[in-house]
Every structure is written in C-alpha cells, then in structure tokens.
Amino acid sequence: MEPFRRITSVVVSIMLFCLVAATTSAASLPEPALSDKAAELLKNGGFILTKGSRVIATQDPDALFIPASILKIATACAALEILGHDFRFETRFYQNNENDLYIQGFGDPALTSEEISMIMDALKEKNVHYIRNIVLDDSLFETAAGPDGSGRHLDPYDAKNSALAANFNTVHITVSQKGTVRSAEPQTPTLALMKKLGKGLKPGTYRLNISNDEQNITRHTGELFRAIQKKKNIPGQGQIIHFHVADNLTPIYIHRSSKKLTSLIESLMLYSNNYIANQIFLACGAKQSGYPATWEKGRNALTRYLHKELGIDKEAVKIYEGSGLSHKNKITPRAMIKILEIFRPNYKLLPLAGNRRVKSGTLTKVFSYAGYFMTGRQPDSFVLILNQDKNQRDRLLDLLEEIHSQSGVQ
C-alpha cells in the first residue's frame, strides 16, 4: 500500500476504495499517475464519476460550487415532473366587436415566425377576416427585473423573459455594404424595428437581443404578427397596443405550441439557450403557485422539487434562476449526480459528443461538465465543476473517462 500513500489527491484514494469494494482485480485499478495529473489541473473544484450505479471517483462531493449551464439539467429534470413530458405552452387569442385582436401570452419560448404563421392560418379558419388593433397582454409574467446574472448586452444569451415575446426576444438581420438592413431569415419579414436596431452597424449578419428596452418586446412581437398577417392576406390595420385582455372576452382560439416540453429541452441543451430554460423555470413556478409567474415562484418550485422529491439537502443547492446564468447559483457535485441519476431515462436529450452525452457550462472563472459516459451497459453519470481561473475541464474529463474505462465495476 506504500505507493498509494504518495497519492496527492483525495480523488483517487476514494476511487480506489470504491474499486476494491467492487472487485479484487488489481489490473482494473487506474495508474497512480492519474491522480497527480488531476491534482495539477484541479485547483478549486469537485467531481463525481459513477459506473454501474457506484461512485468510483470523487473529490469535494459536498462542497458548493457555481454550476453555470449544467444547472439547466436540474431545471429540465424538475420541469419533466412538474409540467409533464407532453406539456405544451399556450397562447390565447380573443377578438372584440371592433375586430381588435387580443393576444395573451403564457410564456411560450418557441413563439417563432414559423409558429406565428401557423397561428395566422388557424385564425383564418376561425373566421378572423379582419384585424384592426393588435393588443398584446404579457401580464402573466412579472419578470421585468430579468434573471439574476443578466446584463444589458446585445448578445442573445441576455434576452429578457416575457409572457409574450417572439423569436426568443431577438432579431436576426443582415446589413449590406450599403447599410441596408434586412431580415436574415426567409420565414421572417423585415420589420421596422430591425431597421432601427441595424442602423449604423457594420456590414454583416447579426442576431441581436432586442429586450434591453422593454418597449421593444411589445413592438417586435406586434410588428411580427402584423407582417405575417399581411403575408397571409388577412386585411386590417391599426395600432399595436400593450394592454390586458378585456374581462368580457372569451378565447376564439387557444394555440398549443407545436413543440412539446421534451423537444424544447433538447433545443435548450443543444444551444444552451438561457431564454428557453428560464421560460420553463418560470412556468414551473406558475404551475405550482399560480400566475403571474415570478422568479421567486420559480425558485421555490425548483428548490421544493429537489428537496422533497429527490431528497437533496436544502444546503446542497442554491437556486436564483433556471439557466445557470447567475453566479449566485450553487450546487454540490453530490446533488448534481443525484439529479443526473433521476434524469438518466432522458439522457438522449443531452448533446452527443463521441461516447458522451454531455452538457457544458461556462461563466467567468466557472467551467463545468455534466452528463453520461455511453460505453457501458447503461449511461454512467459524471459531474465536473471547476471554479478557478484556468479552464482544465476537457483534460480532466478525459482523465475521468480513462478512469471509467479502466474500472472493473459492473
């Protein structure tokens, strides 16, 4: 046992204990040199590696770390339970005697140009043949402050959440050499707001967050509905108004999103979409505590699920929003591995990279991975969270995969 006393990392000593308990084959043990490499790379962080439902390697499993975007797995796991796999967001439509179209949002994150085109077709079938004013009601979300950790940037990852917003609160534009601004998407008409936001930009293609000015959210959504209305040859013109639905109106059409929850989760994991993650997070809060949706209700819903349903200690997780954008979010590797074990039946919703299903997370001085190695009889979960200056997560994950492959645990 003398060579093992020279191992400098807690990591492999615990790993070896687990391995010896699982098998007496010395050939299955990783080389001690692996621990030295891990100690050099991991200055402030923790991880857990499993195989065959056993922990085979770990370091600082109960320390709190900032998770960044791997927190999206916790949000998704809770949403699948709270909302259900087949849940679809709704958007409701009303019309008064003056042919004003009222649109009431319930937070559909996939209210895209394509979806609005389908909505206009459905409204025509409901005998909507003329639209005067377009009245937008986003009162079911109280999220003006934005998620903790967001800033006032043009980057799409900082788009604000809303009960009624189109195209993820972004515009995709192209600016020509002559300064002409056009939509960069064939399915999306060029809007007046696009021309305003694109004015003065250098030639190129941009996806811009439009939500720094909250008035832009209403303007953008209204302009897009109006433009697609005209494209569908539905006559009518009037104002775009930000107001609530009149009490005496009943819906003429309730649109259920073409994307169910599992499809939304797959997209948010692939593109690490903060907007989608937090729309789902807010919907979970509204489901449990009623509308209007708020950040506090979302936090309570996710924390309650992790504590009561999964048995995770309240001190092992601190939730401020659902995307991982906030540096105030904290979680232990042990809590994260528990979430991964529950999420295992849905592992295919995570992006595939070689023999791994993995979600990454990145913030300033935060680098993380969580997911599954796919080389065994079942997906084996792992979590790696670094809160340090240097990003060594790829090299460390390669080492964990090597330990996983050498382990004789079944």
Domain shared by 274 and 250, yes or no: no
212-269, pLDDT tens digit by residue? 888 999 999 999 999 999 999 999 999 999 999 999 999 999 999 999 999 999 999 9
235 and 184 fall within a common domain: yes
pLDDT at 176 over 60: yes
Last residue of a domain, one of 259, 293, 316: 259
Which secondary structure element, helix H or strand E, spans residue 318, and what is its range?
Answer: strand 317-318
For residue 184, give its domain range: 90-259
| Domain termination site, one of 208, 240, 259 | 259
For residue 95, give the amino acid letter: Q
Burial of 165 (0-12, 13-18, 19+ CB in 10 A): buried
User: Over the stretch 187-208, which tens digit does the pLDDT of each residue have?
Assistant: 999 999 999 999 999 999 999 9
Residue 149: which pLDDT band, with cuts at 50, 70 and 90?
confident
One domain for residues 251 and 102: yes
Are residue 255 and residue 266 in the same domain, yes or no? no
Hey, which residues does 15 pair with through a beta bridge?
Answer: none
Overall domain count for the chain? 2
- C-alpha span between 388 and 369 (Å, rounded): 14
Same domain, residue pair 39 and 100? no
Greatest Cα pair distance, the chain, in angstroms, is 87
Q: Give the phi and the psi of residue 51 in degrees, each rounded to 5.
A: -155, 130
Residue 116: the pLDDT is 98
Average pLDDT, integer, range 127-139: 97
Same domain, 98 and 221: yes
Separation CA 353–CA 348 (nearest Å): 11
Q: Which residues does 78 contact at the CB level (< 8 Å), separation at least 6?
A: 284, 301, 302, 305, 306
pLDDT digit string, tens, across residues 327-362: 999 999 999 999 999 999 999 999 999 999 999 999
Confidence of residue 5 (pLDDT cuts 50, 70, 90): very low
Residues 282 and 402 in one domain: yes
The alpha carbon dihedral of 214, 218, 223, 224 has a sign of: positive
Q: Are residues 222 and 156 in the same domain?
A: yes
C-beta of residue 285 within 8 angstroms of C-beta of residue 300: yes
Structure tokens belonging to residue 167: 């195209």
Tokens 């998704």 belong to which residue? 76
Residues 310 and 339 sit within 8 Å (Cβ to Cβ): yes
Instruction: Return the ∠ at Cα 112 (arms to 106 and 115), rounded to 5°.
Output: 85
Question: Other CB atoms closer than 10 Å to residue 38's CB: what's the count?
Answer: 25
The CATH number that applies at residue 104 is 3.50.80.20
Tell me the pLDDT band of 79, cut-offs 50, 70 and 90. very high
The number of beta carbons lying within 10 Å of the beta carbon of residue 126 is 12
Question: Are 103 and 68 in a shared domain?
Answer: no
Give per-residue pLDDT as tens, 286-343: 999 999 999 999 999 999 999 999 999 999 999 999 999 999 999 999 999 999 999 9
CA distance 298 to 290: 11
Copy the structure tokens of residue 75: 């949000």
Name 168's Cβ contacts closer than 8 Å, sequence gap at least 6. 109, 112, 156, 159, 273, 275, 276
CATH code of the domain containing 289: 3.40.710.10
Does residue 15 carry a pLDDT above 70? no
User: What percentage of the chain exceeds 70 in pLDDT?
Assistant: 90
160 and 285 inside one domain = no
The answer to whether the beta carbons of residues 109 and 279 sit under 8 Å apart is yes
From 211, 237, 259, the end of a domain falls on 259
- Same-domain check for residues 119 and 250: yes
Residues 18 and 60 both lie in one domain: yes
Decide: helix, strand or coil at residue 196.
Answer: helix
